[in-house]
Structure 1
Amino acid sequence: MGQEQVTKPLEEAAKAGKIGHAYLFAGSRGLGKTSVARIFARAIGCSENDLYEIDAASNTVTIHLRHPDSEFLDQLAVPFGAILPADTPDHDMGTQPIPGTGSYMVKSYDPSGGIVMVRNPHFHQWSAQAQPKGYPNEIDYKFGLSAESQVTAVENNQYDWMFEDVPADRLNEIATKYTTQVHINQLNWFYYAPMNVNIAPFNNKDARLAVEYAVNRESMVKLFGGNALAKPDCQILPPEMPGYQAYCPYTEHPGPTWSAPNWTLARAYMKKSGMIGQHVTVITQVQSPFRQIGIYLQDVLNRLGFVADVKPLSSNIEFNYIQNTNNKVQISVTDWAQDYPAA
């Protein structure tokens, strides 16, 4: 790591207004923060927490936290925690990726066909837990297969693994006939339908409550694949998550768990909202189970008195689409998965 890679980020941060000014001190290797830097910091009222050590000779960056953070190492393990050279572009590099340190590298790539990855001859396994060397010598990843085709290919031993969720109509088949090829990994993951509180009709609390009480969460579990793969819930924290307390108010019998829809309350809230006849579009993804859940929500909304339709989008664009306020999304079907074990 050279001087350019140290000074450039400081210059860019100053230009962006993130820091007013910065000073660069040099010292002998192994001294850490130099005495001059510490004295100068105190003189100008700068906290020593804002001093960073960069040992160019040993390629070491030391980050001093302003306060204890039990999640810091977990945060460094997710993609946005990577430490990169200062001149790394902040845009998609396409088919010319920056040099990496992983165990595999790209041998060939066809946007419409697939990608072939082989072992990186320069890779050295420094930690089997953090960056394992991997098992196969070559990974052949095919594009363009539907989820149905992926299931069939794995069943026939044409492929070893599939990326997409297994369609609900194939679950019984693989659970009874292909048990040795099925591996279940329990995740803290939940599917939900966020309602936009800034635009009609869900800027009305009663309209939102009408939907909460009308939705049959057990029906959506069945669309996902049944109780072996999912269970109904009424809150943002998934079960087994730290801080989770079982409680569901939006049901026939409020208590620790969801019991059944409460259509009496749902219709009462809907009438009170004054939103009967309001048009609603449900944004969802084209693949299973998103599309099926979207169609189910359309039926519930229509039964409540809305005029609902479904707009399925490719999974490549759906998440960014629903995050863009210019698209005025009223309600959507999306999911959230835990990055690391923390509340």
Structure 2
Amino acid sequence: MEKRKPVSDRKVFVAGHRGMVGSAIVRRLEILGYEHIVTRTRSELDLLDQRAVFDFMQSEKPDEIYLAAAKVGGILANNTYPAEFIYENIVVEANTIHAAHLSGVQRLLFLGSSCIYPRDAQQPMQEEALITGVLEPTNEPYAIAKIAGIKLCESYNRQYGRDYRSVMPTNLYGPGDNFHPENSHVVPALLRRFHEAVQEKAPEVLIWGSGTPMREFMHVDDMAAASVHVMDLEEDVHRQYTRPMLSHINVGTGQDCTIRELAETIARVTGYGGRLVFDATKPDGTPRKLLDVSRLKSLGWQAGIGLEEGLNYTYAWFLKHKEDLKVC
């Protein structure tokens, strides 16, 4: 069994530390007393460059890795750039995981996505639903890339005895999110849209889709806490709740709401009092996405930040940083 160093002595590489999830993991590690957190910007280390990643791993020799780097986006971005979404994510995963193995890194945590599950998977979605049906077409390339990441981890565990783990988060939001008007996910897109509607005194806000699909939303600080919790599980405990070919763990709140309910909550948070108009000609995506988080609860962790509370935190962060985000 692996003998781990004390927290203060562990060198931990957080790949993707400038992203919403990666930055939250860094914050969490700092709170817990980690003193040797290694980060690199894309200009300092391009994870698409296999040789650069290998040289970095050989030079730094991290004890553990959080693989949070990914190309992400909403329905529009996934539909518009499917080639980039599948290529960049697969290459980043393959380069990082293989270089970690070659450099002797025993423990790694890969962050996936709940979109790995079939479009019509039984709700709530259990880990066992993986590769049992057709994926949602609007983000299939991204989902396949994330499935590849899970299988990379499982394969290195089986063949080389590594301890590479995977967590599958539900829809995330929070500080550091992407508030681009076209390429962002639903929560930051709506927060920005409602904020602008308040500023412009717009009589109505147009929202993509029918408003009926159900989604689960989790604050990124909860996701970071869950990630560190899973990474810190003793190896025998982790293996007790997973299998060699079913090693991933769902991370979510266990609660969902309709997009209409989400929009109504964001309207309250931003102080918008106009009409909400839903454009049913736009794609809805998967009808429902709720994760079964019973495995994670059995491992001793559950979410603690409620949706409206988390949205208030996120909107406060947005207001503080909107000039940097080039939002009027």
Above 0.5 in TM-score?
no
The structure with higher relative contact order (CA 8 Å, sep 6+) is 2
Bigger-Rg structure (1/2):
1
Structure having the higher helix fraction is 2
Give the TM-score of the pair, scaled to structure 1. Answer: 0.21
